[in-house]
Amino acid sequence: MTSVAELRAHIRASGREQLRELALDAARDVAINRGWSAVRMGALAAAIGTSRQTLHTEFGTKDELGKALVMREVSAFFDGVTAQLASHPGDLGAAVSSAVIFTLTSAAENPMLQTILTGGAGGDDSLLPLLTTRGEAVLAGAVDLFADWVARQWPDRDDEAARVMVESVARLLISHVLLASGTPQQAAQDLARVACRCMGFPDRQL
């Protein structure tokens, strides 16, 4: 049976999560339409009906708000990548190709990611380091996600070969997101080939 204290704690947690999402949604809208430099903590707080102090208590600085916004966008990508991998059980080449095409196509069509990469309407590229020099969490998340899928598909794999393959593909994919080269289809074919050769799988899987 849920106690009164537990119920109150749940209500507070729900309210806090709702506040976070409202703040992130509002910040995303401003960043896309006017640039990240136009985001102001005070104006954001007023827009969602809370105090500036409450917003600072939840996120800390504007930089921390930006980090939370970037990571929410990345998390949505990870969900999509997970679905792409799951749709090709036991087929490394097809799974990598599908995940790469999904990621690069989505990145090109995602206005928030384009704002992060180019500075958007305001030309302020201060969010970009969250994906580059401070992007360890993004890379680690991508590696963990991919490594978990590989481990479930090939439990008797060569661990070292799998580690090299997973990290190489993840790093190359992030590089393609940050600096596109060729078409998503070409990148997908190249990364799928890298994955298969690292694991000693024949190219015919592509």
* Residue 182 pLDDT exceeds 70: yes
Q: Is residue 200, in this structure, part of any structural domain at all?
A: yes
Q: Which of these, 125, 124, 99, lies nearest to 177 by C-alpha position?
A: 99
Identify the H or E element spanning 44. helix 41-47
Report yes or no on 97 lying in a domain.
yes
- Looking at the domain assignment, is residue 148 inside a domain? yes
129 lies in some domain: yes
* Residue 42 is assigned to a structural domain of this protein: no
Could you list the residue range(s) of the whole structural domain that residue 173 is in?
62-205
% of the chain exceeding 70 in pLDDT:
89
Residue 140 lies in a domain: yes
pLDDT at 11: 41
The reported pLDDT for the residue numbered 119 is 74
The pLDDT tens digits for 10-41 are 445 567 889 999 999 999 999 999 989 899 99
Token pair of 206 as six digits: 């592509």
Mean pLDDT, residues 143-152 taken together: 95
* R_g (Cα) of the chain, nearest Å: 20
Per-residue pLDDT at 10: 41
Cβ-contact 131, 178 below 8 angstroms = yes
The pLDDT of residue 4 is above 50: no
Cβ-based burial of 107 (10 A; exposed 0-12, middle 13-18, buried ≥19): buried
CATH number at residue 172: 1.10.357.10
Give the pLDDT confidence score for residue 101 in this predicted structure.
96
Residue 116 CB-density burial (10 A; 0-12 exposed, 13-18 middle, 19+ buried): buried
In the chain, the number of structural domains is: 1
Predicted confidence (pLDDT) at residue 1 exceeds the cutoff of 60? no
Q: What pLDDT shows up at residue 14?
A: 60
**pLDDT of the residue at 120:** 72
- DSSP line for 128-184: GGGTTTT-HHHHHHHHHHHHHHHHHH-TTS-HHHHHHHHHHHHHHHHHHHHS--S-H
